[in-house]
Structure 1
Amino acid sequence: MKSLVTIGEAAAVSGVSAKMIRHYEDIGVLQKTSRTDAGYRLYNSQQLQQLGFIRQARNLGFSLIQIESLLALWRDPNRSSRDVKQLAELHLAEIRQKIAELSQMEQVLQQLSDRCCGDLSPHCAILDGLAPNQNLAAESQ
């Protein structure tokens, strides 16, 4: 591979769109690139590695703030693996919480769907289940 590649080539190699590469550079997640005399961005192998790292971290659902922290740790040869693991475990706990919330949503929606006849009748248990509790509306008046 050439030592410097254009943004299009960087996008193809990393799997990150050119638009997102520019965005990551603009917000400081990706280190600034060198430019040609015509202003075209050129990416080196280190930046391509960073893009691959960012892509993988995004695929795992890390936020940009978390990715910045992970990148800083990745670049630091004196890092403590404890710090990396702490970030990963925090994110894992967030994922587990989201899974629990999604599971609860699934159960409620399944119950509502099971109670709905799905026929030509205007009565719908799903809509009834989504409507605010009538007792709560009366209490607030």
Structure 2
Amino acid sequence: MDFPFRLPLLAEYWIELVLVWLGFGTVVGLLARVIFPGREPSGALGTVLIGVIGAVVGPLFMETVCRLEGFNPISLLGFVAALGGASVVLVLYRFLLLIISDHLPPQPTEEHLAPPPEYPPPPPPYEYPWPPPPTA
């Protein structure tokens, strides 16, 4: 099947590269969350972002410090380096949240979320005696 529109090869290369790094970063971020479980308000996007940053920082650190020839970041050694980078980024993120949480308003407690107190039930309606009392 021939498509009427084709991207230039350089654009296809960059799109493929971005998708590979997003997938690689997602897997690394998920594994970092499994290794360091916690309750941060970041969600799925935060997990992917931490993974992608770790997947860039870890191999970059490995290549800079160890000066390996022909180091491929998308390999088993690159994966371990990316997992280490994502773990460091996750720990720094939690530390930053800890520092910032001192300046945030307090989280609502059970007392704040409890329903309002119930009012006492209304008195029963007045019952008229029947038959009416005889009049004098």
TM-score bin (small chain)? 0.3 to 0.5
Higher relative contact order (CA 8 A, sep 6+): 2
Give the structure with the higher percent helix.
1
Give the structure with the higher percent strand.
1
TM-score normalized by the length of structure 2:
0.34
Q: Bigger radius of gyration, 1 or 2?
A: 2
